[in-house]
Every structure is written in C-alpha cells, then in structure tokens.
Amino acid sequence: MAEERKELIKLESGEAEQPFRWSAGVYGSKFLTELRDNKRFVGVRCPRCGKVYVPPRNVCGPCFVELTELVPVSDEGEIITFTVVSFGFVDPSTGKQKPVPYGYAVIKLDGVDTYILHYLDETDPQKIRVGARVKAVFEEERTGSMLDVRHFTLLDR
C-alpha cells in the first residue's frame, strides 16, 4: 500500500482588513490639531505633582487626579535611548512591510516629564548617542497624526 500523501492545508487571510475608528479624546485631539495647524507641541500639567505629560492625557497615574491645564512645550529635546531597526515586519497600520532600516528613539522634549517615541534621520547607530539633542522636522502636508512630524533631526552632528 502506497504511503498516504500528507497535505496540510493553510488558509491565508490575504488582503482581508478590519477597519477601526479610534478616539483621541479631548486632550489628544488638542495635541494633534496643534501639531497639524501650528506645528506646535502641547502637553498637559498635573495640578498636584506638576508633571507635564506628552502625549497628553486626562489623568496622572501616580496622583490619580484629573489633568486640565494645557501647556506649550518645545519641539526640541534629547535622546533618552534609541535603536536602529533592520528586521522586516508587517506594519499593522498599513498592512504592508515596514520600510527598514530606520532609527527611532525615546525622546524627552524640553519642558516635558514624559517621553515620546519618534523616528530619527539617522540609521548608523555609531552616529547616534544617548543625550544627543534633537529637533522635530514637520511634514508639509499634515493630517493630525504623530507622523505630521517626519522625524527628529540630530542637532550636533
């Protein structure tokens, strides 16, 4: 008797897509519209501990109080830590392969107590350092997204 041929079937989800509509909230919306319309960063300050949050949110976790005070913050800051991504993966925001390599960093904007993630305009890790100064470079066409900032550029090359 001939050995049974083993065929293991897989079902591909292919181009299937499930759309979502997420809410940024009042403070997230204010942040994104300022970015889009005025190329400015704003944060929100805790009335109890004074910590300034970016991205803005309406609660300070440690104090557990409501945050209402919007404050302007700088578009410059420093690198807290960084990486250069060189492996390929599917970007769930687009369904496409993310273009690599790219550098990105945890950035502390001046006047802010929290950090943001953003792209760097450098892909050689030997040319990036913790503590380096960076400044936001804005896109010409802006839509109200973190990607209205194209990347942060290294200031002291």
**Residues of the shown chain interacting with another protein in the complex, contacts defined by CB under 8 A:** 8, 10, 13, 20, 22, 24, 28, 32, 55, 57, 61, 80-87, 89-93, 98, 104, 106, 113-119, 125, 130, 145-147
* Nearest-angstrom CA–CA distance, 134 and 111: 14
Other C-beta atoms closer than 10 Å to the C-beta of 144 total 16
CA distance 44 to 46: 7
Task: Supply the minimum distance, in Å, between the C-beta of residue 105 and another protein.
Answer: 8
Minimum CB separation of residue 91 from another protein in Å reads 7
Asked if residue 55 has a cis previous peptide bond (ω within 30° of 0), the answer is yes
Residue 12, both tokens: 């591909």
- Among residues 71 and 106, whose Cβ is nearest to another protein? 106
Of 44 and 82, the one with the shorter C-beta distance to another protein is 82
Question: CA-to-CA distance for 104 and 123, rounded, in angstroms?
Answer: 9
Residue 95 is inside which H or E element, if any?
none
